[in-house]
């Protein structure tokens, strides 16, 4: 079993939909949780960064961390075709530490 | 520089040859990481540098893989006697005072 599980999709939604992306993990020592977006043939780009449990909102994006359930989520409101990309969850035990990534979920938002 | 720079962007090599991949981190970033992204395995950690030292090399898959960092800046990942299973995208990331890792665009390595 992998340390971080993420459904690879693909996930296809119409423009304007609310998208929910999720990851589960097994290592209770993880404290830092991130979501990266990766366009084809590009490097991962940080979208959201959360320390410990709680919610964080940035524009159309909301990240949630539930450490008791070992479950993290990313919500995208009013999805746009430009949101079509692969979304990677990542986590680490501490700062200046290696990131453990999920497999990535491929999202397609169609007009 | 403005971001993490990696070169070459693409590399095609023959099985058994050695390759060197280069990473220029964001100026002033003390931490540097190498990851590998392949279809079957996703994005996997290889090695972490703090300054010129590598406190965590746990992700290097075999002794054919090595990396160094000089002057607390540029890093080189070397793969000796390449094998077809080494084909992947090799990503470099750097981080500064905070712990956010910023990634380069990667080097796409194809071993024929």
- Does the CB of B96 have a partner CB in chain A at under 8 Å? no
Give the β-pairing of A11-14 and A105-110.
parallel
Does B56 touch chain A if contact means CB atoms closer than 8 Å? yes
CA angle B55-B95-A95, nearest 5°? 60
Contact status of B103 with chain A (Cβ, < 8 Å): yes
**Is B101 near chain A, with CB under 8 Å?**
yes
Contacts of residue A32 in chain B, CB cutoff 8 Å?
99
Q: Is A45's Cβ below 8 Å from some Cβ in B?
A: yes
Q: Which of A41, A46, A101 lies closest to B100 in CB terms?
A: A46
pLDDT tens-digit profile of A18-76?
A: 999 999 999 999 999 999 999 999 999 999 999 888 899 999 999 999 999 999 999 99
From A11-15, B29-33, B40-44, B104-108, the region with the lowest mean pLDDT: B40-44
CA B39 centroid distance within chain: 17
> What pLDDT was estimated at residue B98?
67
Beta bridge partners of A55: A64
Q: What residues form DSSP beta bridges with B27?
A: none
Q: Which residue of A has its CA nearest to B33?
A: A98
Mutate one of A50, A58, A99 to test the B interface: name it (highest B CB count within 10 A). Answer: A99
| pLDDT over 80 (residue B1) | no
Q: How confident is the model at residue A9 (pLDDT cuts 50, 70, 90)?
A: confident
């Amino acid at each position: 079993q992998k340390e971080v599980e993420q459904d690879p999709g693909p996930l296809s939604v119409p423009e304007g939909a609310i998208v929910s992306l999720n990851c589960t993990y097994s290592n209770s020592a993880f404290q830092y949780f991130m979501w990266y977006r990766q366009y084809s043939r590009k490097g991962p780009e940080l979208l959201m960064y959360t320390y410990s449990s709680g919610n964080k909102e940035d524009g159309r994006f909301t990240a949630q961390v539930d450490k008791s359930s070992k479950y993290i989520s990313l919500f995208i409101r009013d999805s746009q075709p430009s949101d079509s990309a692969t979304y990677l969850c990542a986590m680490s035990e501490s700062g200046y530490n290696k990131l453990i990534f999920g497999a990535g979920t491929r999202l397609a938002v169609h007009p | 520089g403005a971001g993490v720079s990696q070169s070459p962007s693409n590399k095609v090599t023959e099985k058994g040859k050695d390759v060197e991949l280069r990473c220029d981190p964001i100026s002033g970033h003390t931490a540097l990481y190498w990851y590998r992204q392949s279809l079957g395995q996703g994005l996997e950690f290889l090695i972490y540098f703090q300054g010129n030292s590598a406190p965590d090399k746990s992700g290097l898959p075999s002794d054919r893989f090595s990396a160094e960092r000089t002057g607390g800046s540029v890093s080189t990942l070397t793969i000796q006697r390449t094998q077809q299973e080494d084909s992947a995208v090799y990503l470099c990331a750097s981080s500064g005072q905070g712990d956010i890792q910023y990634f380069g665009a990667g080097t796409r390595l194809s071993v024929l």
